[in-house]
Amino acid sequence: MAPPPPGMLDPNLSGFHPMKGPMVTQSLRGLTNTGVLHWRGDRADLTAFNGAFVSLMGRATQLPDSEMVAFSDFVMPLAYPPNPYQNLDRTFPDAPVGQPSAERGRQFFMNTAVDGPLRCVDCHALPTGTNGQVIDKAALLAPQDMKVPQLRNLYKKTGFKDTIGVVNKRGFGYTHDGSVDNLFDFLQFPGFNFGTNPDAKRRDLERFLLSFDTGMAPAVGYQLTFNGANNADPTLSARMDTLESQAALGTCDLIAKGRVGTTPRGWLFQNGAWRSDLSSEAPISRAQMIALAASGHELTVTGVPSGSGTRCALDRDRDGFMDADELAAGTDPADPSSHPVTAVTPTGGAAPLGLRAIYPNPFRAAATVDFTLAHGGPASLTVFDMQGRRVRGLLRGVPLAAGPHTIEWDGRGDEGRTVAAGAYFVRLEAAGQDWRQRIVRVR
């Protein structure tokens, strides 16, 4: 037996029996902020699964801590896609009484005491659907204690039937052992008291659970294409209103892609206007942007995950040079080591050579690195972690002129993920010399 995890509020927990029995495979997505892991909550965090590399995967030894931390850093940010049953503006579909309504189900979930004094939301706390607590087996009418599970993937688990003789082709079944074939049946749990019209409330609640917010707004991945003929279409215009207001709320970034003349172009919705990928251009209004759309010059608007808009619309290789500027300069917008040479601003007097300043430091979203070269020639600017592992190549032997230069680091590693909070150092190499400076990223 292993003891219950620390920090649990339920006084009647038994701890974990080694013969846990069959459990439905859980997802590696959406683990952040869901507390202890596994159906029973018997793993403190992802690194506690290291034993499985030996016992399940057949390795001779466990992963070294550094690799397990890297694995965890990779898995923890994995996210669910948007829930297809929500409205585009992230609200829940409603319906008249007599038909199931996700919105009425949401109100019930949030407001009605159904398990003694407890509402669903008291255990299934938002936004993930779990408060991270383990509940004792007597309260669950179950053979062992279980953690309150997150509710973000319920809509993916439909389709299983436990009728005698049925052939199941898909579906998982609900609860830890997958024994319940649908959510309506799950809500027959005798611990729940639904009061009057219980089945109507169960149908509403089932709709809500199937539209449960996954953490990713429904606007993400949504696309509209303007082609000249439909530029003034009122339906598209209303959808644009919704998409722009979602972006303004920060639930997604909103980008547009099209062509001006023969040049592929991108726009990002920022502060109520559309900024293009040509740095000399002022932001334009929605009407001005849509007016660019014509047959053969279609313009497609796409909701993208928050934080990825700049990469998707303006600077795809994140080298700090906007895509259309790169096309104009004849460099490759998809290759961070190919970009225009940074402008040299004349210095008054003898500026110190090498790395001059990194600011802000500590930084949260992006940091600016200022440096000066005594002679023109290839320069490399690299970010390392404190173990000396290379995190991001900002410049890789790029030929630069003598004088001051400025490069922005967007806090991401080479594979595009935002780096963990902590200390890093930036190293500048040029003309056989090198300079280092410490930089700290905070959350």
Question: In this structure, are residues 89 and 246 in contact, taking their beta carbons and an 8 Å threshold?
Answer: yes
Identify which of 429, 315, 331 has the alpha carbon closest to the alpha carbon of residue 371.
429
- Cα–Cα distance between 83 and 119 in angstroms, integer? 23
Task: Return the residue matching tokens 């993920």.
Answer: 417
Q: In terms of CB distance, is 89 or 185 closer to ligand HEC?
A: 185
Query: Which tokens is 41 given?
Result: 């909550």
Number of neighbours of residue 335 by Cβ within 10 angstroms:
13
Give the C-alpha distances (Å, rounded to integers) separating 121 from 109, 115, 205, 273, 327. 6, 11, 12, 38, 52
Q: In terms of CB distance, is 136 or 370 closer to ligand HEC?
A: 136
Q: In terms of CB distance, is 37 or 148 closer to ligand HEC?
A: 148
Q: In terms of CB distance, is 172 or 425 closer to ligand HEC?
A: 172
Identify which of 398, 389, 383, 384 has the alpha carbon closest to the alpha carbon of residue 336.
398
- Cα–Cα distance between 422 and 76 in angstroms, integer? 17
**Do you find a cis peptide bond into 362, omega within 30 degrees of 0?**
yes
Q: In terms of CB distance, is 186 or 269 closer to ligand HEC?
A: 186
Q: In terms of CB distance, is 156 or 297 closer to ligand HEC?
A: 156
Q: In terms of CB distance, is 202 or 339 closer to ligand HEC?
A: 202
Question: Measured from the CB of residue 195, what is the shortest distance to ligand HEC in angstroms?
Answer: 12
Identify which of 216, 213, 277 has the alpha carbon closest to the alpha carbon of residue 250.
216
Query: Which tokens is 144 given?
Result: 């062992």
Question: Measured from the CB of residue 162, what is the shortest distance to ligand HEC in angstroms?
Answer: 14
For residue 348, give every residue at least 6 positions away whose Cβ sits within 8 Å of its Cβ, in sequence order, or none: none
Question: Measured from the CB of residue 137, what is the shortest distance to ligand HEC in angstroms?
Answer: 9
Question: Measured from the CB of residue 209, what is the shortest distance to ligand HEC in angstroms?
Answer: 5
121-156 CB burial, b ≥16 within 10 A, e <16? bebbbeebbbbbbbbbeebeeeebbbbbbbbbbbbb
Q: In terms of CB distance, is 210 or 428 closer to ligand HEC?
A: 210
Q: Nearest 10 degrees: CA dihedral of 215, 219, 221, 225?
A: 180
Q: In terms of CB distance, is 109 or 321 closer to ligand HEC?
A: 109
Q: In terms of CB distance, is 74 or 189 closer to ligand HEC?
A: 189
Question: In this structure, are residues 314 and 268 in contact, taking their beta carbons and an 8 Å threshold?
Answer: yes
Question: Measured from the CB of residue 133, what is the shortest distance to ligand HEC in angstroms?
Answer: 7
- Cα–Cα distance between 41 and 4 in angstroms, integer? 8
Question: Measured from the CB of residue 106, what is the shortest distance to ligand HEC in angstroms?
Answer: 10
Question: In this structure, are residues 97 and 105 in contact, taking their beta carbons and an 8 Å threshold?
Answer: no
Question: In this structure, are residues 183 and 206 in contact, taking their beta carbons and an 8 Å threshold?
Answer: yes
Q: In terms of CB distance, is 131 or 225 closer to ligand HEC?
A: 131
Task: List interacting residues with ligand HEC (CB under 6 A).
Answer: 39, 109, 114-115, 118, 120, 122-124, 135, 139-140, 142, 146, 148-149, 151, 154, 174-176, 183, 186, 192, 205, 209
Number of neighbours of residue 347 by Cβ within 10 angstroms:
10
First-residue to last-residue Cα distance in the chain = 38
CB-side neighbour CA atoms (13 Å) of 258: 27
